[in-house]
């Protein structure tokens, strides 16, 4: 964090984490801590039943509100993001939580508000002490539910942001998912919070709702007051309190440049991703739900490089049948044919769980029973999905991909189950693509280092940089305390990507990349120079990546990659990439950071 001045009347510049892009200027609306409205008091024995009834009534009201929010959010954004609220409903139905609050009211003779506060703080503290990042982030879910219960108990039915009387930038210690879902774009220009990370639920929802946001500002909630003028750049993670006239003029120009540049990008949608010296690079989209197909087409993707099939499962209240899955996969394949569609098999576990599947209790679910491990341990469920994908392959453009491979044995086991699924369909006379291409995610160091063993058994690799970086560098990517160590250009990562590409090409294996690293246009010269055949990103990132590719030289990118392989730090490699982008397309630097 940096500061220009200590004077309350002078401009202050703060550096946070930009989690949702966009530049906004406006007055601050500071959210008051909900607990400031809560009154705690002792109760008489005669009042205890009434307090317990008040508590149960507030649980019912909270449950209805969260279901309403989930339904509204699902209609506007999609089930993949709306499923975030399943965790909130689980807290409300937790018998231990409910019984502890009732016991506190009965034994301590305190009102319902006090009981909810005491028990929820106990739960939050216990979760916060756990090492696993996913479980630590569930603290927010518990706190969100508790705040809403307390709000219902106090009679404050509206969301905190309802008090905003003019378009403003929301500032808070932290925004809960339900509070984020309730934000109205005509009132909330953007939001800034003390806490948060790029992969937290609130950040995911901000991006889905296209609300500019900066998090991880540490103490912004006590630095500003309602009415203060503020400028926020969600692209660069910069927040400026009381911006000067010069700063406003500077950003006014930046906004004009960005708007003009974005118009240029949209004008290139129909063009191919090809360097100045005619080197083609595949540019495809990552999606979670079929509803994203319109964006895939409108943004100029050449196909789908990653269809996260687990969201088909998360969207159901039950394990989807073979027919239900096949209908969805076929809808996607048919809409995009003949463009390729890569369907990744179930990547459940880690931070994505089904309420109707029993999971073991794990200290670190990201390294536990998940993805291909879960599928191989549940062969019936896995074969059902494989048959559904095979049925969709009759359109001739479907590929299948296995996630979180760590060794060739897992590939061979998965292939055996795939052959079994093919045999079942053949026996029924059900058509499918007998030559269905099979690939694997390279997202663990062990997979990257054993690609020579894996390559003979697959048609393509897809480098999943999000997990590859996390596992290689031993960095929890949702922990803001070590976020500075999460470096896509760390020499170890660059070498693993290069090794994967080289081995893949030696064996005639197509090599793609589908992690967030690919969505950063500054990385484009490095990735192209390393030899990637394809980059797959979120649909909205495609125009900018395509523009970067079209302004690059393949020959110069190869020279950059060779130089990058000699460097000893991530910063040196980033600097090389920025220098190239600054030379060929400086507007990109103004747009992204």
**Calpha distance 386→213 (Å, rounded):** 39
Q: Which of 79, 375, 490, 514 is catalytic?
A: 514
**Calpha distance 455→508 (Å, rounded):** 9
Determine the angle formed by the axes of helices 95-108 and 48-76, rounding to 10 degrees.
150
Phi, then psi, of 308 in degrees rounded to 5: -75, 90
The H helix count followed by the E strand count for the chain is: 25, 16
In the sheet with 229-233, reading across from the earlier edge strand, the strands are 12-15, 238-241, 229-233, 23-30, 168-172, 188-193, 213-215, 17-20
Cα 311 to its chain centre, rounded Å, is: 13
The β-bridge relationship of strands 341-344 and 304-308 is: parallel
Residues facing residue 30 across a β-bridge: 171
Q: Which of 201, 395, 510, 554 is catalytic?
A: 201
| Contacts (Cβ under 8 Å, ≥6 apart) of 82 | 70, 71, 73, 74
514 is known as an active-site residue: yes
**Calpha distance 176→389 (Å, rounded):** 37
The β-bridge relationship of strands 229-233 and 23-30 is: antiparallel
Beta strands in 119-212, from DSSP E residues, in sequence order = 168-172, 188-193
Cα 578 to its chain centre, rounded Å, is: 25
Long-range pairs of 263-267 with CB within 8 A, sequence gap ≥ 24: 264/547, 265/543, 265/544, 265/546, 265/547, 266/543
| Contacts (Cβ under 8 Å, ≥6 apart) of 377 | 369
Q: Residue 481, SS3?
A: helix
Q: Residue 160, SS3?
A: helix
**Calpha distance 576→172 (Å, rounded):** 38
**Calpha distance 227→204 (Å, rounded):** 28
Q: Residue 474, SS3?
A: coil
Q: What amino acid positions are annotated as catalytic residues? A: 201, 514
């Amino acid at each position: 964090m940096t500061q220009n001045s200590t004077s309350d009347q002078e401009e202050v510049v703060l550096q946070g984490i930009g989690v949702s892009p966009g530049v906004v200027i406006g007055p601050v609306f500071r959210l008051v801590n909900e607990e400031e409205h809560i009154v705690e008091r002792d109760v008489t024995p005669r009042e205890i039943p009434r307090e317990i009834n008040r508590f149960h009534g507030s649980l019912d009201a909270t449950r209805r509100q969260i279901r309403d929010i989930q339904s509204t959010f699902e209609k506007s954004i999609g089930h993949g993001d709306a499923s975030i609220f399943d965790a909130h409903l689980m807290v409300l139905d937790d018998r231990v939580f409910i019984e502890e609050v009732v016991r506190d009211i009965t034994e301590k003779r305190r009102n319902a508000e006090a009981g909810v506060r005491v028990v929820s703080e106990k739960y939050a503290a216990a979760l916060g002490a756990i090492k696993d990042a996913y479980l630590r982030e569930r603290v927010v879910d518990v706190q969100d539910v508790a705040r809403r219960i307390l709000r219902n108990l106090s009679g404050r039915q509206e969301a905190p942001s309802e008090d905003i009387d003019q378009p403003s930038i929301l500032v808070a210690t932290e925004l809960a998912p339900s509070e984020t879902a309730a934000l109205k774009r005509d009132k909330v220009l953007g939001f800034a919070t003390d806490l948060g990370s790029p992969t937290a639920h609130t950040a995911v929802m901000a991006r889905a709702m296209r609300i500019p946001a900066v998090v991880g500002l540490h103490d912004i909630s006590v630095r500003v007051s309602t009415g203060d003028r503020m400028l926020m750049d969600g692209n660069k993670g910069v927040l400026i309190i009381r911006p000067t006239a010069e700063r406003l003029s500077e950003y006014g120009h930046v906004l004009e440049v960005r708007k003009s540049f974005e118009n240029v990008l949209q004008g290139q949608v129909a063009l191919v991703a090809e360097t100045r010296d005619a080197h083609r690079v595949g540019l495809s989209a990552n999606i979670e739900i079929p509803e994203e197909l319109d964006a895939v087409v409108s943004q100029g993707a050449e196909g789908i490089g990653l269809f996260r099939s687990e969201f088909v499962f998360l969207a159901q209240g039950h394990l989807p049948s073979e027919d239900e899955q096949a209908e969805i996969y076929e809808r996607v394949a048919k809409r995009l044919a003949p463009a390729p569609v890569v369907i990744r098999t179930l990547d459940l576990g880690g931070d994505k769980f089904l309420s109707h599947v029993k999971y073991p209790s794990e200290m670190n679910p990201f390294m536990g029973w998940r993805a291909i491990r879960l599928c191989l341990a549940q062969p019936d469920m896995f074969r059902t999905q494989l048959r559904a994908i095979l049925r969709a392959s009759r359109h001739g453009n479907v590929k299948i991909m296995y996630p979180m491979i760590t060794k060739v044995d897992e590939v061979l086991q998965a292939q055996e189950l795939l052959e079994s699924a093919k045999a079942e369909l053949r026996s029924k006379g059900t058509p499918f693509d007998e030559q269905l291409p099979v690939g694997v995610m390279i997202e663990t160091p062990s997979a990257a280092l054993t690609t020579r063993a894996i390559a003979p058994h697959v048609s393509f690799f897809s480098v999943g940089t999000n997990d590859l970086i996390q596992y290689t560098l031993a960095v929890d990517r949702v922990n803001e305390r070590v976020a500075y160590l999460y470096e896509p250009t760390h020499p170890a990562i660059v070498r693993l990507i290069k090794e994967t590409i080289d081995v893949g090409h030696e064996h005639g294996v197509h090599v793609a990349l589908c992690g967030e690293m690919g969505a950063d246009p500054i990385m484009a010269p490095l990735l192209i120079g390393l030899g990637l055949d394809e980059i797959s990103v979120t649909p909205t990132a495609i125009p900018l990546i395509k523009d970067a590719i079209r302004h690059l030289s393949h020959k110069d990118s190869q020279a950059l990659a060779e130089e990058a392989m000699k460097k000893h730090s991530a910063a040196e490699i980033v600097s090389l990439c920025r220098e190239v982008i600054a030379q060929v397309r400086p507007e990109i630097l103004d747009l992204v950071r």
